[in-house]
Amino acid sequence: MGMKGAVLALLLGVAGLRAQNPCANTPAYTPCDLTFELNDAEAAAHPSPYLSVAMHAEFKSPTFHTYLMPAFWDGGRRLVIRFTPTEPGNWEYRVTSNVKRWEGQTGSFTAAASELPGFIVPRNVHHWAYADSNRPHLWMGDTCFTFGFMDEALFRQVVDARAAQKFTHIRGLILGSPADAAAMYSSPDQPNPAGFQRLDQRILYINRKGIIADLILAGANGQLASLFPNWQQRQRYIRYIVARYAPMNITWQGFRDFESYADGRPLLKEVGRLLKDLDPYHHPMTSGTLSTSAPLLDDGWQNFVSYHSADDQLGAIEHQLFAVPFVNLNFGVEDSGAGKSGPDAVDLDTFRHRLWNATMNGQYVTYANTGTYGGGSLPVDAKYLDSPGAKMMTAWFDFFSGTRHWELEPYFDVDGGRGLALEDVEYIIYVEKPGPVEVLVERHGYDVEWINPISGEHIREKNFKGEHYTGDPPDKTHDWVLHISREGHKEGMLRSYKFESRRIEMQVIEQNPAKVPFEIAQPAQDLSLSKPAEYAVKLTRATHATRSMMYLWTVEAAAEGQGFRVAGTGPQGRLHIPPSIARKFPAVLSLRLYGMNAVGKVYAADKALQLTQ
């Protein structure tokens, strides 16, 4: 090798050493940054690095898993490749870039062992676990839309309080309000690195408190399409936030609500597929919604369903339809004393009832409080952090932490309440209207207790042995939770059983008209958007199982590609058909009615109608 080649090799080696040093001894599941600086000539060739510099690194783990991470522009001449090792040991990487000096650089570093549990993934059909262990994850979220933009001291007060209250998620907007977004992106192709650096530090602070950040890509009412009008701009934005935040402990949550976008589903399909392709850690993905995000499942990027609804018929039936976890992002906003900031704000008793009914639907939950969620006209105020609703959330968490929550499924052999169960092990019954309760259980001896959902107080009863439990709550002044459990057996399961002790089997929805015990009675004729139609079901076969029925009505114009929309629940009412369901009229509309009987069996009936304006 000549002198010129030796000097060049030395320079490349020094550059690689500088890049790799920050990751040396990084603990697993802790981000580290490899920093690269453009020289004068490169800066002249790339006056706008956000637009013109292409760069990524492929990392190979000690067990030969590979992770491809894009770089992001961090202001001035600086490019950063942020990476999180997922296991201890020796990691190697190779850089690819259109900056010739960086192309082909290689490096290595050793990651240290860590006590951090790692990133979460859907597991056991409807539940959550940490990816690299059999440790279950109990999702209990908080909503603070503006956590990236509030005063630093207030931000830390919010996060510290929620960590002490045992919340495991905090949900917020990457771009904030329209005014905040203008500070984050001065134009579609010009991010403000200082704004994102502040957000970096806040997400890292949230993670250090043991909390996962649920990141909403954009707000409501078309914010993403307005800020980034064409797909190239949106692609650069998604690549940028993946590069900055995928190495952190996060989930992706699409838009604040996808229905408020003119083309919400196609736009989310574009964005969701980009996230799926670019995020090497495969963090959980969904979108905010005005009702349910289930219409997005067929597009292949979403792996859990979110709700903005306290409708138990919607939640209970969809739980039987889809083999993914469910998270209710807004079952009601506690009016904590700050005032009612919108139609979702509810009093404390209503809030608590909705919390526990959402749980009985098989949903994990995310909390919101009018004084702290930053989603309406009211400012975030620390004095509302220790509200009664937040204390009820902690009581909820403490209770479920002592259960096999990652195996609980809705249970229907109950009179006088609504249930979850891991049959043969434990049964949890929510008694919203106190009175006699009857529960069929497997024949064993059980510990029995009542839990006050207001205070979290446990009241033990004498043990029960048999297969037909009957009892009454301690008093009738409020709702109660009944827990029937084989506690000794559960302790043994934790020592010797796998993550799931049995498979959760999804039922086959019965669609044979001869076996469906109901039919669509109304609407009997074609529909018009200008004249909302009544809907009604006719029960054609009365049995013990059909004594109690839940109904879910959906509509879809399949040719339009917008997916289905919930048009109603219950046995009768008025159809709510969004105008965006179709662009061309008349349109062929598919009306589907799901019915679930008292033992949890789901049936479906369909009707094709013409929809006009």
56-69 pLDDT per residue, tens: 999 999 999 999 99
557-584, pLDDT tens digit by residue? 988 888 999 999 999 999 999 988 988 8
pLDDT at 21: 67
Low-confidence ranges of the chain (pLDDT < 50): 1-20
Identical fold between 135-401 and 413-496: no
What are the DSSP calls for 356-414, one per residue? HHHHHTT-EEEE-BTTTS--SSSPP-GGGTT-HHHHHHHHHHHHHHTTTGGG-EEE--E
- Mean pLDDT taken over the chain: 94
Q: Give domain limits for the chain.
A: 3-111, 135-401, 413-496, 518-612
Domain 3-111, what fold? Immunoglobulin-like (2.60.40)
The whole model's pTM is what?
Answer: 0.95
What pLDDT was estimated at residue 132? 86
* CATH 3.30.565.10 is right for the domain spanning 518-612: no
Q: Does domain 135-401 have CATH number 3.30.470.10?
A: no
Question: Whole-angstrom Cα distance, residue 370 to residue 384?
Answer: 8
What pLDDT, on the 0 to 100 scale, is given for residue 22?
82
Other beta carbons within 10 Å of 527? 21
Q: How far apart (Å, rounded) are the C-alpha atoms in residues 28 and 132?
A: 11
Whole-number Å distance between alpha carbons of 137 and 129:
5
List pLDDT tens digits, range 259-290.
999 899 999 999 999 999 999 999 999 999 99
Contact 503, 525 (CB under 8 A): no
Q: Which fold has domain 413-496?
A: Immunoglobulin-like (2.60.40)
SS3 call for 244? helix
